[in-house]
């Protein structure tokens, strides 16, 4: 079951993430030097201005078809050609060939230890608590949407372009909750091929623990059902032996199934 689901959602997540990078590239002057290369049918996105493995993500490699060594070489070469030394190749439990990890290690990549939980569900007309508080956002909300994400994730101001760009891009919809006229909890979604990917979920620290993110999740599930999507998927940091991720708990609470965890393989740091 996990293998069949992985084939659907990994390919769609790769497309959604590349759409985010393409939206950033469309921003005036392309300040993040965003680009998406395609090698042997595999999307290879990058933000050249910051060279960060968190954004330079290769998703779905070896899921639909076994990954040949020549494809790995082309992926590594693509990043090298764009001056990128930090990137992530995500490995799912169903990725092929069986020795994919050994092939990654041969090319200087290591298991970072980070695990990403992949979740999915068949959307229905879900009516979650506080869903009536959630509103659809527009291009006029791009700056404030970006601000919520930056404050929630504690990232530098130059990433405002990344968080705000998708409000101007086709295929995306965005939602949020306001208090006193101010956005305090937000989330986005990308819809294509009858599937919806959920991302950019964030709540200001002082407003957490009040069910807002669950409400934003529920509204997006409801929207996906209304748009005729047959599948909704998203991801977050997996639970560890010591720490349970509240974001993953929220996803399960609104009906998502935790399908599998992905390994993040990254270029080994140099001296």
Residue with tokens 């791009």: 142
What pLDDT, on the 0 to 100 scale, is given for residue 126? 67
Q: What Å distances lie between residue 90 and 60, 123, 159, CA to CA? A: 7, 26, 23
Alpha-carbon dihedral of residues 145, 150, 153, 157, nearest 10 degrees? 160
Q: Residue 2 above 60 pLDDT?
A: no
Please state the pTM of the whole predicted model.
Answer: 0.95
Q: What pLDDT band is residue 129 in, cutting at 50, 70 and 90?
A: confident
Nearest CA to 251 out of 77, 101, 130, 117 is that of 117
What pLDDT, on the 0 to 100 scale, is given for residue 3? 61
User: Length of the chain, please?
Assistant: 271
What pLDDT, on the 0 to 100 scale, is given for residue 206? 96
Q: Residue 124 above 50 pLDDT?
A: yes
Per the CB < 8 A criterion, the answer to whether 190 and 209 are in contact is no
What pLDDT, on the 0 to 100 scale, is given for residue 241? 86
Structural domains in the chain plus CATH codes: 2-116+263-267 (no CATH), 131-229 (3.40.630.30)
């Amino acid at each position: 079951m996990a293998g069949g689901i992985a084939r659907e959602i990994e390919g769609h997540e790769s497309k959604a993430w590349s759409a985010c990078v393409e939206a950033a590239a469309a921003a005036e002057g392309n300040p993040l030097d965003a680009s998406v290369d395609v090698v042997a049918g595999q999307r290879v996105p990058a933000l050249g201005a910051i060279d960060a493995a968190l954004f330079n993500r290769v998703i779905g490699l070896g899921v639909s078809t076994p990954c040949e060594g020549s494809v790995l070489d082309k992926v590594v070469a693509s990043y090298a050609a764009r001056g990128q030394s930090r990137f992530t190749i995500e490995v799912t439990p169903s990725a092929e060939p069986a020795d994919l990890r050994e092939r990654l290690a041969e090319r200087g990549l290591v298991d970072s230890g980070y695990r990403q939980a992949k979740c999915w569900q068949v959307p229905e007309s879900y009516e979650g608590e506080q869903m009536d508080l959630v509103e659809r956002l527009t291009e006029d909300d791009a700056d404030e949407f970006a601000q919520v994400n930056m404050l929630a994730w504690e990232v530098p101001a130059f990433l405002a372009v990344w968080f705000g760009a998708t409000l101007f891009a086709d295929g995306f919809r965005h939602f949020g909750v306001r208090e006193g006229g101010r956005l305090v909890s937000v989330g986005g979604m990308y819809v294509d091929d009858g599937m919806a990917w959920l991302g950019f979920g964030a709540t200001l620290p002082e407003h957490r623990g009040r069910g807002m993110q669950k409400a934003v999740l529920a509204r997006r599930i409801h929207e996906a059902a209304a748009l005729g999507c047959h599948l909704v998927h998203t991801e977050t940091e997996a639970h560890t032996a010591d720490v349970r991720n509240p974001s993953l708990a929220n996803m399960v609470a609104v009906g998502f199934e935790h399908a599998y965890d992905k390994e993040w393989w990254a270029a080994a740091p140099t001296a």
